[in-house]
Amino acid sequence: MTATVFTNARIVDPSRGLDETGAVIVAKGKIEAAGAAAHNQGAPEGAEVIDCAGKLIVPGLIDSRVFVGEPGAEHRETIASASHAAAAGGVTSVIMMPDTHPVIDDPALVEFVLRTARETAIVNIHPAAAVTKGLAGQEMTEFGLLRQSGAVAFTDGRNTIANPLVVRRALTYARDFGAVVALETQDADLTCGGVMNEGLYASWLGLPGIAAEAEIIPLERDLRLARLTGGAYHAAKLSTAVSAEAVARAKADSAKVTAGVSINHLALNEIDVGEYRTFFRLSPPLRAEEDRLAMVEALRSGAIDIVSSSHDPQDVDTKRLPFADAATGAIGLETLLAVALRLHHNGDVPLMRLIDALSTAPARLFGLPGGTLAPGAPADLSLVDLDYPWVVREADIRSRSKNTCFEGARLQGKVLQTMVAGRTVFRA
């Protein structure tokens, strides 16, 4: 593997609070040096030298919530196709959700994912295993064996565990293995057939609404159980102002709690549903503008720790339907960074905090390598033109599914090159 030297780059590395112009030296798959001082360090023998002309280098993004169709729905997305989408979006590691067919609830399936990833993927794929067998919300999976075989976290994916006792036991037992339990919180009874945010828009469209309380009530329950058990709990996908407050309170109460938000809930609101646009049917639903603003503020303040794409490939058989009959979810790996950069360009969230939430914080939270440009770290990085304007076109999407919320959107900021362990996996 040849060495690479990036010169004249703006280096933003939240792991060291570093934002300076300098060089990044990559050799043997690792970061050898990154920063202003690295300019004076000699390039390794035979290194490729890339003059970045002031473009940005950040640690590769770590997307903690990615749904993939393999095994079981490869026509929507394979591990390989997801990895190509990730690379194009500057994402160097993804945590893959266990909502597959079969469900990833057994060490053999974790090994299958890792093997398939080794053979076909161009970015790091980290499987998350189910908390409960078959995602049924009843019996715990083998946390110890799953973790040993390579599962990096436990989650029931799109499913909310209805039984509080199951959540309590899972948090308690996971603690012994140092594992994070990441859960979504949508009360199935309160949601009751709802398909979009409850309120005036849903009422005019004649669509059953989902009240914020459907998210908040199970969330509050889980936060209390996290306090009770001392387990590491991650609220995976928040969407309401009250949810962010609840998490901030639990943190102040020194519970081992963290929270995430999907990029969609930072960038879009219920009005984007428009005339029954099914690509905007998400879970949790897109909320009111006040909620979106609260999510942005919570991200800025750190009440919300990380941002995910919540990449969820769906195709025509699940999306080309009347709104209430369509599946939830949108793809997002390729647009994650560029959409997030809107918050930087608008002055809502500082660039350092944004990259932290997209890379450094998820690495720390889930104990993954990466998320840093510190010497010795794996050379997972992206080179980004912060200001480059582009328009999202369906024809350019690498993902096997095309259900993006950002078709036709004008974005500012483009990934020019992505490197995983010193190997270039994407070049624009």
Partner 1 sequence: MSPATTFPLFPHRHLLGIQGLSAADIELLLDRADAAVAISRQPEKKTANLRGRTQINLFYEASTRTQSSFELAGKRLGADVMNMSVGSSSVKKGETLIDTAMTLNAMRPDILVIRHASAGAAALLAQKVGCSVVNAGDGAHEHPTQALLDALTIRRARGALGKLTVAICGDVLHSRVARSNIVLLNALGARVRVVGPSTLMPAGIERMGVQPFTSMTEGLKDADVVMMLRLQRERMAGAFVPSIREYFRYYGLDAEKLKAAKEDALVMHPGPMNRGVEIASEIADGPQSVIEEQVEMGVAVRMAVMEALLDPRRNAGGEA
Establish if 134 lies at the interface with partner 1 (CB under 8 A): no
Q: Which of 59, 89, 107, 209 binds partner 1 (CB under 8 A)?
A: 209
* CB distance 67 to 329 below 8 Å: yes
**Shortest spacing between CB 204 and partner 1, in angstroms:** 7
Nearer of residues 15 and 403 to partner 1, judged by Cβ:
403
Nearest-approach distance from CB 209 to partner 1, in angstroms: 6
CB of residue 192 to partner 1, shortest distance in Å: 10
Q: Applying CB under 8 A, which of residues 38, 110, 123, 207 lies at the interface with partner 1? A: 207
CB 334 within 8 A of CB 88: yes
The distance of closest approach from Cβ of residue 278 to partner 1 in the complex, given in angstroms and rounded to an integer, is 9
Please state the closest distance from residue 199 (CB atom) to partner 1, in A: 5
With respect to partner 1, which residue has the nearer C-beta, 176 or 290? 290
282 binds partner 1 (CB under 8 A): no
What residues from 236 to 275 belong to the interface with partner 1 (CB under 8 A)?
Answer: 275
Asked if 325 is part of the footprint of partner 1 (rule: CB under 8 A), the reply reads yes
Paired sense of beta strands 410-420 and 423-427, if any: antiparallel
Beta carbon nearer to partner 1, 134 or 199: 199
Nearest by Cα to 332 from 314, 345, 359? 314
User: Which of 140, 324, 327, 386 lies at the binding interface for partner 1 (CB under 8 A)?
Assistant: 324
Q: Which is nearer to partner 1, 19 or 272 (CB)?
A: 272
- How many residues sit in the footprint of partner 1 (CB under 8 A)? 21
Question: Rounded to the nearest 10 degrees, how much is the dihedral formed by the CA atoms of 328, 392, 359, 154?
Answer: 20
Under the binding rule (CB under 8 A), the answer on residue 320 touching partner 1 is yes
State the nearest-atom distance from the C-beta of 274 to partner 1, in Å.
Answer: 10
Which one of residues 6, 173, 323, 426 is an interface residue with partner 1 (CB under 8 A)?
323
Burial of 6 (0-12, 13-18, 19+ CB in 10 A): buried
317 binds partner 1 (CB under 8 A): yes
What binding mask, one character per residue, do residues 151-190 give for partner 1 by CB under 8 A, x or -?
A: ----------------------------------------
Question: Which residues, numbered 187-206, are part of the site for partner 1 (CB under 8 A)?
Answer: 198-200, 202-206
Task: Give min distance, CB of 252 to partner 1, in A.
Answer: 32
3-state secondary structure the chain: CCCEEEEEEEEEEHHHCEEEEEEEEEECCEEEEEECHHHHCCCCCCCEEEECCCCEEEECEEEEEECCCCCCCCCCCCHHHHHHHHHHCCEEEEEECCCCCCCCCCHHHHHHHHHHHHHHCCCEEEECECCEHHHCCCCECCHHHHHHHCCCCEECCCCCCCCHHHHHHHHHHHHHCCCEEEECCCCHHHHCCCCEECCHHHHHHCCCEECCHHHHHHHHHHHHHHHHHCCEEEECCCCCHHHHHHHHHHHHCCCCEEEEEEHHHHHCCHHHHCCCCHHHCCCCCCCCHHHHHHHHHHHHHCCCCEEECCECCCCHHHHCCCHHHCCCCEECCCCHHHHHHHHHHCCCCCHHHHHHHHHHHHHHHHCCCCCCCCCCCECCEEEEEEEEEEECCHHHCCCCCCCECCCCCEEEEEEEEEEECCEEEEEC
Interface stretch with partner 1, choices 229-237, 318-326, 368-376, 414-422 (CB under 8 A): 318-326
For residue 281, give the nearest of 215, 335, 326, 236 by alpha carbon. Answer: 326
- Segment contacting partner 1 by CB under 8 A, of 27-35, 109-117, 208-216, 250-258: 208-216
| Smaller CB separation from partner 1, 242 or 352 | 242
CB of 241 vs partner 1, minimal distance in Å: 17
- Does residue 289 touch partner 1 according to CB under 8 A? no
- Contact segment (CB under 8 A) with partner 1 among 49-57, 121-129, 207-215, 337-345 equals 207-215
Which residues ranging from 210 to 229 are in contact with partner 1 (CB under 8 A)? Answer: 211
Q: Which of residues 378-397 bind partner 1 (CB under 8 A)?
A: none
Residues within the interface to partner 1 (CB under 8 A): 198-200, 202-209, 211, 275-276, 317, 320-325
